[in-house]
C-alpha cells in the first residue's frame, strides 16, 4: 500500500500541468493507495474557503477511491518523535507516522523537503520527472 499525502492529492486533482499529468499517470500502477482524514481536511480548506462546491465535490469523489487509514494515538506520538528528530512540519510528521504505522511501503509526495528528511520513506514523485522535462526545453 502506498500513502498519498496532501501535496500529491492537490496535484492529482487541481493541477492541469505537468504535475497533474504525472500524478494521474502514477495512479495507473497496480497498487493500493491510501490517505488519512488529515489529507481530506487539508484538501478541503481551499474549496471551502472559496465556496467552490465543484472543487470540493472533485476532492470528495476522488479521495473516496483510496483506502482511508485511521490516525491512531500512537501515530501522534510517533509524529512528535519524527518532528523532534527531523524538524518537519506537524502535518508532514502525522502523514509519515500514519503511513509507517499502517504498514505502507512508501509515502508519495510533492514535497521535496519531506522527501529529503524521511530517509527514503517519502518519495517526491515529481522532482526527477519535472527537472528532466525542464532541461529539455
Cα dihedral 71, 25, 119, 91 sign: negative
Q: Is the pLDDT of residue 5 over 90?
A: yes
pLDDT per residue as tens digits for the range 77-136: 999 999 999 999 999 999 999 999 999 999 999 999 999 999 999 999 998 754 444 443
Q: Which fold has domain 2-135?
A: Rossmann fold (3.40.50)
pLDDT per residue as tens digits for the range 45-56: 999 999 999 999
Per-residue model confidence (pLDDT) at position 129: 58
pTM of the model: 0.90
Per-residue model confidence (pLDDT) at position 30: 82
Per-residue model confidence (pLDDT) at position 132: 47
Helix (H), strand (E) at residue 92 = helix 90-101
Q: Which three cell numbers stand for residue 94?
A: 502525522
Amino acid at each position: 500500500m502506498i500513502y498519498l499525502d496532501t501535496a500529491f492529492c492537490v496535484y492529482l486533482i487541481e493541477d492541469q500541468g505537468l504535475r497533474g499529468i504525472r500524478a494521474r499517470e502514477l495512479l495507473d500502477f497496480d497498487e493500493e493507495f491510501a490517505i488519512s482524514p488529515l489529507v481530506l481536511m487539508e484538501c478541503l480548506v481551499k474549496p471551502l474557503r472559496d465556496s467552490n462546491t465543484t472543487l470540493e465535490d472533485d476532492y470528495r469523489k476522488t479521495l473516496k477511491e483510496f483506502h482511508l487509514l485511521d490516525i491512531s494515538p500512537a501515530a501522534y506520538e510517533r509524529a512528535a518523535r519524527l518532528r523532534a528528530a527531523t524538524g518537519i512540519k506537524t502535518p508532514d510528521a502525522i502523514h509519515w507516522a500514519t503511513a509507517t504505522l499502517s504498514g505502507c511501503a512508501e509515502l508519495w509526495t510533492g514535497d521535496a523537503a519531506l522527501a529529503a528528511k524521511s530517509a527514503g520513506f517519502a518519495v517526491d514523485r515529481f522532482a526527477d520527472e519535472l527537472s528532466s522535462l525542464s532541461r529539455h526545453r
